[in-house]
Amino acid sequence: MPPSSTPDPEPTETIGTLGEFALIGRVTAGRTQPATTLLGPGDDAAVVASPDGRVVATTDVLVEGVHFRFDWSAPEQIGRKAAAANLADVAAMGAAPTALLVALACPPSTPVSTLSQLTDGLWAEATTAGAGVVGGDVASSPTMTIAITALGDLRGRAPVTRSGARPGDVLAVCGRLGWSAAGLAVLARGFRSPAVVVGAHRVPEPPYAAGPQAAEAGATAMIDVSDGLLADLGHVATASGVLIDVRTSVLSVPPRLVDVGAALGIDPLHWLLTGGEDHALAATFPGQPPSGWMVLGEVAEGDPGVLVDGRPYTEGAPGWTHFSQQ
């Protein structure tokens, strides 16, 4: 048989063939760090400035098949989403994000291009929030797992916790609600459009600056809406010992979500109330919230809990709960 005129394809470079340290060098070379990074990747540990003298720290783990799927999202989008989930928690404390530490476990057969794109997303989202990627680790695993630790600086302010809401406070929200849940519903049905809705699930847009803004304005409690508005407000209600009432009359369902809900036979209001992963911020204030925040309800005395228009929510689960929804 004569030789084929078509050349063999170039073999895919994998993590196994490149090696741990060469991979780290490749994904960190040429990156720009913010002024808070005093010593970045390449040593035993990083050094990050903390002018306030206190460090806000949070960590999160994302597992392939549970938190992300490569058939639904590009590696760069997964990287951005992984970073956003942690950076939003820093903002929810009223702090400014400063740094990310990333630990990655993956199969040796993982293409280097996949990891390069994923880290591009991590760096891009960190830059958007004003933070740097200052270090991490790489290990072999049969399942890809991304563990991220985010650090932040309070800039002289007290942290805004979940336990400070008081009767008479107003409840307000900054950021999108329901978009990610709608995008997930579209993907779960095997569709890839509308692109703007699916894109909201692939890459959230947390209002990072709104966290420090709320702290400066005197927010009494705050939380990142990651598991669903009602579920996360339940954490605030329990920690603060208060009753929170959400008014749906002020919730305007975006037209695109109305269209998607009609196509899928789902009430889009349910996405706004219980959908997570948009990473909006919900906070309570003793008076009117600052510009960009939407008043959504009020805090009252009573047994800790969350009401919707004065009644318990009975249209389904209030949000995502790990281990009970597998």
Question: According to the annotation, is 114 in a ligand binding site?
Answer: no
Cα angle vertex 225, ends 34, 223, to 5°?
A: 75
Taking CA atoms, 255 is separated from 131, 196, 197, 261, 275, in Å, by 34, 12, 11, 10, 17
Question: According to the annotation, is 67 in a ligand binding site?
Answer: yes
H-assigned helices in 152-209: 179-188, 195-202
Question: According to the annotation, is 227 in a ligand binding site?
Answer: yes
Question: According to the annotation, is 247 in a ligand binding site?
Answer: no
Question: Going by DSSP bridges, is the β-strand pair 294-300/243-246 parallel, antiparallel, or unpaired?
Answer: antiparallel
Element (H, E) at 237: helix 229-240
DSSP state of 67: T
Cα angle vertex 195, ends 264, 282, to 5°?
A: 80
Taking CA atoms, 188 is separated from 64, 71, 240, 277, in Å, by 16, 11, 36, 15
Question: According to the annotation, is 278 in a ligand binding site?
Answer: no
Question: Going by DSSP bridges, is the β-strand pair 145-153/243-246 parallel, antiparallel, or unpaired?
Answer: unpaired
Question: Going by DSSP bridges, is the β-strand pair 305-308/243-246 parallel, antiparallel, or unpaired?
Answer: parallel
**Sign, Cα dihedral of 268, 271, 277, 278:** positive
Question: According to the annotation, is 224 in a ligand binding site?
Answer: yes
Question: According to the annotation, is 60 in a ligand binding site?
Answer: yes
Question: According to the annotation, is 267 in a ligand binding site?
Answer: no
Question: According to the annotation, is 315 in a ligand binding site?
Answer: no
Question: According to the annotation, is 320 in a ligand binding site?
Answer: yes
Question: According to the annotation, is 162 in a ligand binding site?
Answer: yes
Are the CB atoms for 62 and 151 separated by under 8 Å? no
Taking CA atoms, 28 is separated from 50, 125, 142, 243, 257, in Å, by 23, 15, 24, 47, 39
Question: According to the annotation, is 303 in a ligand binding site?
Answer: no
Question: According to the annotation, is 149 in a ligand binding site?
Answer: no
Question: According to the annotation, is 137 in a ligand binding site?
Answer: yes
DSSP state of 288: P
Annotated binding residues for substrate, as ranges? 67, 277, 320
Residue numbers in the known binding site for Mg(2+) are 44, 58-60, 89, 137, 224, 227
Binding-site residues from annotation for ATP: 136-137, 162, 226
Binding residues are 44, 58-60, 67, 89, 136-137, 162, 224, 226-227, 277, 320
